[in-house]
């Protein structure tokens, strides 16, 4: 039965070769799958890193924009506060004008308001510089300029910050210190800002 043993040996040899070939094929497939998986992992990692970098960059941009906006808001608030202080300082200087300068300013403004030579003024409760003598002086000027000088000082007092309210018929013109400051401030605000913030 030497032929049977050879046949069995041949079958076993073939089976061994087939098994080794199959094993080599499985190993090759396993290696290819491992390499493919590693490439996919590297690709995903690179993609995640890129997305993380993009996200970090975007977050940095957002944070920079937020900080920039906050800085601008604080700067604007500081500028507004400085402008308000400058305005208050100017109003304080206006309130503390010496009598001569104050009376001259009010006379000039009253002559502008009462170009017709008629009307009346109401003053604040604490006003002492705009009195009958002041009005007599203004009326004398109006008589020369307009031919009439009939301004009157009303007994009623107004709750104003110095100055006066000119009244003629139904018209009233507020010439209080606050109103004068508002008017002057509108004209000078840009120049004040330029002087403060250049």
Judgement on whether residues 1 and 92 belong to the same structural domain of the protein:
yes
Q: Of all residues in the chain, what percent carry a pLDDT higher than 90?
A: 26
Judgement on whether residues 79 and 139 belong to the same structural domain of the protein:
no
Longest dimension (CA), the chain: 159
Q: For 70-103, what is each residue's pLDDT tens digit?
A: 888 888 888 888 878 878 888 888 888 899 999 9
Judgement on whether residues 163 and 88 belong to the same structural domain of the protein:
no
Judgement on whether residues 130 and 89 belong to the same structural domain of the protein:
no
Judgement on whether residues 107 and 63 belong to the same structural domain of the protein:
no
Judgement on whether residues 117 and 178 belong to the same structural domain of the protein:
yes
| Whether 119 contacts 151, CB under 8 Å | yes
- With vertex at residue 157, the alpha carbon angle to CA 111 and CA 100, rounded to the nearest 5 degrees, is 45
Whether pLDDT at 1 is above 60:
no
User: What's the whole-model pTM score?
Assistant: 0.59
Q: What is the CATH number of the domain that holds 149?
A: 3.30.2320.30
| Whether 129 contacts 99, CB under 8 Å | yes
What DSSP character marks residue 131?
S
Domain hosting residue 134, numbered range? 98-197
Checking DSSP bridges between strand 164-168 and strand 120-123, what pairing results, if any? antiparallel
Judgement on whether residues 103 and 161 belong to the same structural domain of the protein:
yes
Which residue bears the tokens 């993009």? Answer: 54
Whether pLDDT at 22 is above 60:
yes
The last residue of a domain, from among 96, 121, 140: 96
Sequence-distant (≥ 6) Cβ neighbours of residue 189 within 8 angstroms: 83
């Amino acid at each position: 039965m030497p032929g049977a043993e050879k046949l069995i040996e041949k079958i076993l040899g073939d089976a061994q070769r087939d098994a080794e070939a199959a094993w080599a094929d499985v190993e090759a497939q396993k290696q290819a799958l491992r390499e493919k998986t590693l490439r996919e992992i590297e690709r995903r990692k690179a993609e995640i890193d890129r997305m993380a970098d993009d996200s970090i960059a975007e977050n940095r941009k957002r944070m920079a924009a937020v900080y920039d906006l906050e800085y601008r808001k604080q700067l604007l608030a500081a500028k507004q506060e400085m402008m308000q202080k400058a305005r208050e300082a100017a109003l304080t200087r206006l309130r503390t004008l010496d009598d001569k300068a104050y009376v001259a300013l009010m006379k000039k403004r009253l002559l502008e308001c009462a170009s017709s030579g008629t009307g009346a003024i109401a003053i604040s409760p604490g006003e002492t510089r705009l009195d009958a003598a002041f009005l007599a002086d203004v009326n004398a000027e109006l008589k020369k300029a307009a031919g009439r000088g009939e301004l009157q000082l009303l007994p009623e007092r107004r709750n104003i910050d110095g100055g006066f309210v000119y009244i003629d018929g139904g018209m009233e013109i507020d010439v209080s210190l606050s109103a004068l400051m508002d008017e002057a401030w509108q004209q000078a605000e840009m120049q004040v800002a330029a002087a403060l913030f250049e």
